[in-house]
Structure 1
Amino acid sequence: MSWSVSNALSLAEIGTAYRWISEESYWAAGIPREIFERSVSNSLSFALRDRQGDLRGFARVVTDKATFAYLCDVFVCASVRGQGAGKVLMSSIMDHPELQLLRRWMLVTRDAHGLYENYGFEIPQNPERLMVRLDQGLYARLSSERP
């Protein structure tokens, strides 16, 4: 399979990525569209396309482009999983010129550890130093407040 990766997404592709993240992900199920679109516009986004130019994967990197990057919303379409698509997407992210010489990368995931380990990600040596503030029910509350 031949893949290409770019940082530009059409409006239709943003809609596809939104559907994947809001309906098929475990980490952002139910995210309101306007919040997702704001996250994309404020991140370095990656679009993975197949030979025909169809969107098959998506990821975002939140970064200051100098010291830190947070890899998030990594999603590969089920129809191409196991065909090297995730590796192409990850290689493109890690090779991106604006993401070089960063001291720290972070990632939160419950699966695909083997994939991410190939790119230098590991379980933190000192997890007691990490803290998080997570409002797990935010998206559900926002959707229930809408008319």
Structure 2
Amino acid sequence: MAITFDTDKQRLDRDMVYRYLSGESYWARGLPRDIFERSLDGALCIGGYDEHGRQVAFARVISDYATFAYLGDVFVLDSVRDQGTGKALMAFIQAHPQLQNLRRFMLATADAHGLYAQFGFAALSAPERIMEKVEPDIYRRLAAESKPA
């Protein structure tokens, strides 16, 4: 199966991507639609499409396009998983002209270390220098706050 990739945000199947991220992913479950839409606006979005033009893969990169990038929201639908789609998506991202010569390219994953290692990603070289602020229940809190009393 031939998968093609591009960064045309107009081509994205936003409903499918939103359903996957908010309902199936472990990292963005419960993601509010308005936050999802803003996340696309502020990122380089990559869609992967099968020979019928159906979107089967997605990723987004947040970057200054000079020194730093963060790869997030990467997924491949089950229908094309284990067929090299993830590797092809990563190859497309790494070859993208706006993402060349970055000093740091980061990501977070719970289950795809083997895939990303093939593309040069590794555990933090100096974890004592990296800090984070994590709010894992933010979407649940926002949903509770938006419900009428």
C-alpha distance in 2 between matches for 1:23 and 1:121: 27
Deviations 1:92-143 (A, max 9, x none): 1111011011110000111111110111100112212111001111100111
1:119 aligned partner, one-letter code: F
The residue that corresponds to 2:75 in the other structure is 75
The residue that corresponds to 1:21 in the other structure is 21
The residue that corresponds to 1:117 in the other structure is 117
Return 5+ residue gaps in structure 2 as ranges: none
Q: 94-103 or 12-21: which moved more?
A: 12-21
| Superposed structure 1 runs of 4+ greater than 3 Å apart | 9-12
Aligned-pair CA distance for 1:10: 3.8
Q: What is the CA RMSD across the aligned residues, in angstroms?
A: 1.2
2:99 aligned partner, one-letter code: L
Aligned-pair CA distance for 1:12: 6.5
C-alpha distance in 2 between matches for 1:57 and 1:20: 10
Deviations 1:72-91 (A, max 9, x none): 00011011110011011111
- Map 1:6-85 to 2 at 5 A: 6-10=6-10, 13-85=13-85
- Superposition TM-score, scaled by structure 2 size: 0.94
C-alpha distance in 2 between matches for 1:62 and 1:12: 17
Q: 61-70 or 72-81: which moved more?
A: 72-81
Return 5+ residue gaps in structure 1 as ranges: none
- Superposition TM-score, scaled by structure 1 size: 0.96
1:140 aligned partner, one-letter code: R
